[in-house]
């Protein structure tokens, strides 16, 4: 009688099958099998916050199939992901199968390799109810906040909105940064650079101050005073400071640092990063010569910097063989995990350091190769010897003022032999001096350099930058808001709810996000308080460690929350939280009203203010009189070659934009908009495209290499029956699966639009 192993995803099941042999059957639950109902609160607050779980719609047949397999199995191993969510899924599976907790066989592994899988199967444990209760507490917190607050938002702002425990905090962060930017008042400052020469040597120096210290040039008058004092004088080398500095490598990746680095270096959005990391973790076929299907990295949801002794030793052997013994430090590097980190898993690293990225490139998608290469190089570099840098800081004087130049050269590359640093990492501090990678000529004290050119420049201070996904994740981590597995869902939710939109890489609050944040700050300040949210995460950690009971934390929270809720339910309708309206110059030809600007899934458009009596909408574009006469649609971007207007044209394959100066300028651009969903076929970006008569369809950015296209909108959500992607049916309130032999479909419910989840 074969044993049964239940994992979460079909791809992971396929990988593990190859490791366990014919005495084991491996099947997938395809995520959660039970959850709180969508149509009701599902939490009995009066009875100890008891959660009422139901089978997830569409999973009935799958649960029957799992029960049948379990009944015929010798032993049942629950092998879902090694975190709170995975522990909860195992607990729900045990409940569905009628297995008491004390009889469960729970197995976890940080990496999907043959050794790790077999070791886990040999050492099962019971389902950890502390972990389960930590997940339940988060789920119940989020359900209560979402279901209790969302109706107040409908009442005071507009219907269909949702308030989430962490999504509201994330929106506040972005809104407050926008307020800082709007309130920022630039101030003037000046810099002076001079190009100096001596024989064939040339250096560029910058103004620092005078003998009394650093000076900030705040206006032109101060700058001219310095220039007058210098005149055409030669510059004298006042001091040359040379030193040898050792620069240590960065630690291996956590979830947060991986997302930040992949965003900066690869340009990936957080959802794309985590999707690819999941693929690398669950297993990829890298060819029989490399061992077939392999899990290439360790578990990707972690805030730990710890690595196993085996991984450390494997890295040492690799570095010594590939680079030589001088590239390995005297003792293995150990990185200290920050306080508050869960440390349940290792840092993100390659499962087998001997599998070099270039060796398996042909077996990976482009995204998989790029991310694996980044993870692999970061890990190897983290175990290597420090780089040795020769630094030089030289001060020059002229007219009683000090100018400075600095730079460094690499004496010994150490870890830099394998890991290419970002521009920020190439700079380092020497006291107050920021030194960049720059080779300077040999400079000696008291030498005279000729003043070839002096360049004063006027500047203005700039406001703080808007958050990107990477910088928002960094802020969330620093404040202790959320955990590694929640960063991407937080960002996905606030974008989907239209509280925030993307402008390039920047995250910008919408008027809806600003008004909702103002309401939350005024009426429910605790919910959007950074410290309160971080403390709640600490409480969840305490539940996981068995230090506190789940019901105690929930009761403490709900007591104050219920009082606030009762008070605001009576008064909130009297407050003014109306969304600002932006008028256009367009007149609705159906009712004569002045049309207003609205935001939708595909950007801004003009709509009649008389909705729902008048449902007229128009594309929001500016037109010249001549273009209006010809009914030409003008794009909201300019020609990338000549800067002229781009206008919509129709061709054999639908609409596109062409330069209005055609045929003088022949630049064209496909009419598309990026959808934040990966391609079901290749994992690339999905583009929303417009065909004739403004009909919308969806296709892969890699067309024609990838031929995916669909009239139905891909959702990025997996089918509960077959695990493939679900689609929103065009023109119908249906969610369907496109898999030929599946046939799964369900209605789009109002509750799904307002579920108020994290």
E runs forming strands in 414-513: 428-430, 433-435, 448-460, 500-503, 506-509
- Token pair in block for residue 24: 């084991």
Distance between CA atoms of residues 152 and 568, nearest Å? 8
Element (H, E) at 397: strand 387-398
Give how far Cα 480 sits from Cα of 236, 256, 586, 598, 636, Å.
51, 12, 47, 35, 39
Distance between CA atoms of residues 92 and 132, nearest Å? 10
Query: Is the separation of the CB atoms in 319 and 327 below 8 Å?
Result: yes
Of 16, 28, 14, 20, the residue nearest 93 (C-alpha): 28
With left for phi above 0 and alpha for psi between -120 and 50, is residue 353 left, alpha or beta? alpha
Query: For strand 24-28 and strand 3-7, is the pairing parallel, antiparallel, or unpaired?
Result: parallel
- H helix runs in 123-250, sequence order: 129-156, 167-183, 220-230
What sign for the dihedral angle of Cα 308, 314, 320, 323? negative
Element (H, E) at 532: helix 530-544
Of 165, 49, 145, 149, the residue nearest 533 (C-alpha): 165
Of 267, 264, 294, 265, the residue nearest 281 (C-alpha): 294
| 54-92 CB burial, b ≥16 within 10 A, e <16 | ebbebbeebbeebeebbeebeebbbbbbbbbbbbbbbbb
Query: Is the separation of the CB atoms in 324 and 377 below 8 Å?
Result: no
Distance between CA atoms of residues 686 and 716, nearest Å? 10
Distance between CA atoms of residues 420 and 325, nearest Å? 21
- Token pair in block for residue 97: 């199968």
Task: Name residue, tokens 């190009």.
Answer: 195
- Bridge partners of residue 43, in order along the sequence: 51
- Bridge partners of residue 389, in order along the sequence: 245, 410
Query: Is the separation of the CB atoms in 70 and 576 below 8 Å?
Result: no
- Return the number of other C-beta atoms located less than 10 Å from residue 312's C-beta: 14
Distance between CA atoms of residues 147 and 139, nearest Å? 12
Element (H, E) at 55: strand 54-55
Residue 189: active-site member: no
- Token pair in block for residue 737: 């699966």
Active-site choice (299, 328, 372, 577):
299
- Bridge partners of residue 598, in order along the sequence: 605
Query: Is the separation of the CB atoms in 166 and 758 below 8 Å?
Result: yes
Distance between CA atoms of residues 314 and 293, nearest Å? 21
Query: Is the separation of the CB atoms in 287 and 392 below 8 Å?
Result: no
Element (H, E) at 749: none
E runs forming strands in 248-386: 284-285, 293-294
Distance between CA atoms of residues 32 and 34, nearest Å? 6
| Helix axis angle, 255-266 to 469-479, nearest 10° | 160
Query: Is the separation of the CB atoms in 15 and 28 below 8 Å?
Result: no
- Token pair in block for residue 563: 């009082």
DSSP 602: T
Element (H, E) at 102: none
Residues tagged active-site: 299
């Amino acid at each position: 009688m074969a044993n049964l192993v239940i994992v979460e995803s079909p791809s992971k099941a396929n990988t593990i099958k190859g490791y366990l042999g014919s005495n084991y059957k491996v099947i997938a639950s395809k995520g959660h099998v039970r959850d709180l109902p969508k149509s009701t609160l599902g939490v009995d607050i009066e009875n100890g916050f008891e959660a009422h779980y139901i089978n997830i719609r569409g999973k009935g047949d799958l649960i029957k199939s799992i029960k049948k397999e379990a009944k015929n199995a010798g032993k049942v191993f629950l092998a879902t992901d090694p975190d709170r969510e995975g522990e909860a899924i195992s607990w729900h599976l045990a409940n569905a199968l009628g297995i008491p907790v004390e009889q469960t066989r729970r197995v976890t592994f940080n990496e999907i390799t043959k050794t790790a899988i077999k070791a886990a199967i040999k050492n099962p444990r019971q389902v950890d109810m502390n972990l389960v209760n930590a997940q339940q507490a988060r789920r119940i917190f989020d359900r209560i906040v979402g279901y209790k607050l969302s109706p107040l938002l409908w009442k005071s702002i507009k219907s269909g909105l949702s308030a989430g425990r962490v999504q509201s905090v994330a929106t506040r962060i972005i809104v407050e940064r926008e307020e800082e930017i709007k309130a920022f008042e630039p101030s003037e400052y000046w810099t002076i650079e001079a190009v100096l020469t001596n024989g064939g040597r040339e250096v560029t120096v910058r103004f620092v101050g005078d003998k009394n210290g650093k000076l900030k040039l705040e206006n032109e008058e101060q700058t001219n005073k310095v220039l007058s004092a210098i005149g055409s004088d030669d510059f004298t080398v006042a001091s040359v400071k040379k030193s040898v500095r050792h620069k240590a490598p960065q630690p291996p990746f956590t979830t947060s640092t991986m997302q930040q680095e992949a965003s900066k270096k690869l340009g990936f959005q957080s959802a794309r990063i985590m999707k690819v990391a999941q693929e690398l973790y669950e297993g990829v076929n890298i060819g029989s010569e490399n061992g077939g299907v392999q899990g290439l990295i360790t578990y990707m949801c972690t805030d730990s910097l710890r690595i196993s002794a085996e991984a450390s030793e494997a890295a040492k052997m690799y570095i010594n063989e590939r680079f030589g013994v001088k590239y390995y430090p005297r003792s293995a590097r150990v990185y200290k995990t920050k306080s508050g980190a869960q440390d349940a898993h290792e840092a993100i690293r390659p499962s087998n350091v001997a599998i070099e990225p270039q060796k398996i490139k042909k077996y990976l998608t482009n995204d998989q190769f790029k991310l694996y290469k980044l993870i692999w190089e970061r890990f190897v570099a983290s175990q290597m010897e420090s780089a040795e840098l020769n630094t030089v800081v030289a001060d020059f004087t002229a007219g009683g003022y000090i100018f400075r130049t600095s730079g460094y050269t690499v004496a010994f590359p150490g870890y830099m032999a394998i890991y290419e640093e970002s521009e920020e990492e190439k700079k380092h501090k020497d006291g107050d001096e920021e030194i960049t990678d720059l080779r300077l000529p040999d400079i000696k004290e008291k030498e005279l350099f000729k003043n070839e050119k002096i360049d004063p420049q006027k500047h203005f201070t700039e406001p703080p930058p808007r958050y990107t996904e990477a910088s928002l994740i960094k802020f969330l981590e620093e404040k202790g808001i959320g955990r590694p597995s929640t960063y991407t869902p937080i960002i996905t939710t606030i974008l989907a709810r239209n509280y925030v939109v993307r402008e390039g890489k920047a995250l910008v609050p919408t008027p809806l996000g600003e008004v909702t944040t103002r309401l939350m700050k005024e009426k429910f300040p605790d919910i959007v308080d950074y410290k309160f949210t971080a403390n709640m995460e600490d409480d969840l950690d305490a539940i996981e460690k068995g230090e506190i009971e789940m019901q105690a934390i929930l009761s403490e929270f709900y007591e104050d929350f219920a009082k606030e809720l009762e008070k605001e339910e009576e008064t909130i309708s009297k407050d003014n939280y109306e969304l600002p309206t932006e008028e256009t110059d367009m007149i609705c030809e159906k009712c004569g009203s002045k049309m207003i600007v609205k935001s939708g899934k595909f950007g801004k458009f003009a709509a009649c203010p008389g909705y729902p009596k008048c449902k007229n909408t128009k594309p929001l574009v500016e037109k010249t009189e001549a273009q209006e006469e010809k009914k030409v649609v003008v794009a909201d971007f300019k020609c990338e070659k000549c800067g002229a207007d781009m206008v919509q044209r129709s061709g054999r394959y639908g609409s596109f934009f062409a330069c209005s100066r055609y045929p003088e300028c022949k630049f064209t651009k496909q009419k598309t908009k990026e959808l934040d969903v990966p391609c079901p076929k290749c994992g690339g970006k999905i583009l929303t495209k417009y065909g004739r008569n403004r009909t919308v369809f969806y296709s892969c950015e890699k067309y024609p290499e990838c031929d995916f296209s669909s009239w139905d909108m891909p959702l990025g959500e997996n089918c509960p029956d077959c695990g493939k992607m679900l689609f929103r049916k065009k023109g119908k309130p249906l969610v369907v699966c496109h898999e030929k032999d599946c046939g799964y479909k369900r209605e789009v419910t109002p509750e799904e639009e307002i579920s108020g989840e994290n």
